[in-house]
Structure 1
């Protein structure tokens, strides 16, 4: 069999495995019987499908990932709290003393905001309601809250007023949140208006840092993407896919993995 034929056969087998999983067939042995290969081959196939983000592994088998569903701010705040705290600790080293930073909406950026309250003197431009309420307590922190429309789930400000304000400012570092970081497509969000406000923030910054826990790295079923630029930095945690981290680095993106 030629290499091209072998690749087609592998893709066809992978597609068949995904269909079987969707139909409720689970367990390595059962899957191996249905597609006509060995159990060890199925395990390798499942591992690859997991790396590609098409499935999630379970004990003894796998399941197909659901399509992306945007969570509310409160629900997101309950997830991966230790990872977000570790990311915030690592990102703190990238905050310039006495500088000006943009801080995105979202719970990982809020974890960084908690560390910036006593970090002044510092100017923080933010589109996150919770971050602004927290940072205004800092005696030496100047807070600029963007105008715009409030997204009900993320509590982030978007729209022409938000981007117009950003276009009048410059910042030393833009700290961006993300619903996904895909090495192929970039930073993913549910809506184009969210990716656009991030794109404008990035264009006004000397440095760009994306804060994303390991669950965010990899393919996702999102509609709007902001391509990553070489020399941007992604700060993530130790649960991140090794393959995704290596791909990002190969494309020139700096990746810092927090403990």
Structure 2
């Protein structure tokens, strides 16, 4: 039998919802990694300021899907194909209720419009595979994801994350906490990266009312080196963090005008 006569090999589509994430489903435009910012230490990006509309139909449907998944104990959760294109665009974060998905082993968020993942992902204790691939506005992850001790496989668009080794885009500048009493459940994401910070990323103790002590740390998470945002209760907890991944900034840092290792 010649090569021409051999039957064509069919490869499975690992992410069938990818068809929806291309021209059909809008992702909001992102200019965080413009050539100017990537090439200049003085042009560090800002956090995405998007605040989740908790009255949006997509958000309300996502809450229902999480409740369904928690109730039936499913091991795979891929909610976005259950939403319409516009509903998918309405989702810029995940609800804290993902903490209830303790049986989920595979979380697929392919082609999302997410700009942040909540720290409650650390409560998904059975998580083994995490796939937010082509979520191109998702530039960082919460340090709490390191609590997912079984997480062994990740599919992340690494060219879209801070500090990636391809061209070392800069990190947003983090500032120390001030003296102002804050509502820790209603933080400005443009300043803090998150809209809520209740417990320490390191020791799980309470965050002080003046806000978290923040740091960036690049670490291996499953199969990728990810930029992790730490919200700590004190400088002592920041000092207790492990070193960064080899080939990345070796210590926790505040981003901004900071020299990184050269691209590779």
TM-score (norm 1): 0.29
- Structure having the larger proportion of residues in helix: 1
Query: Which protein is bigger by CA-based radius of gyration?
Result: 1
TM-score (norm 2): 0.29
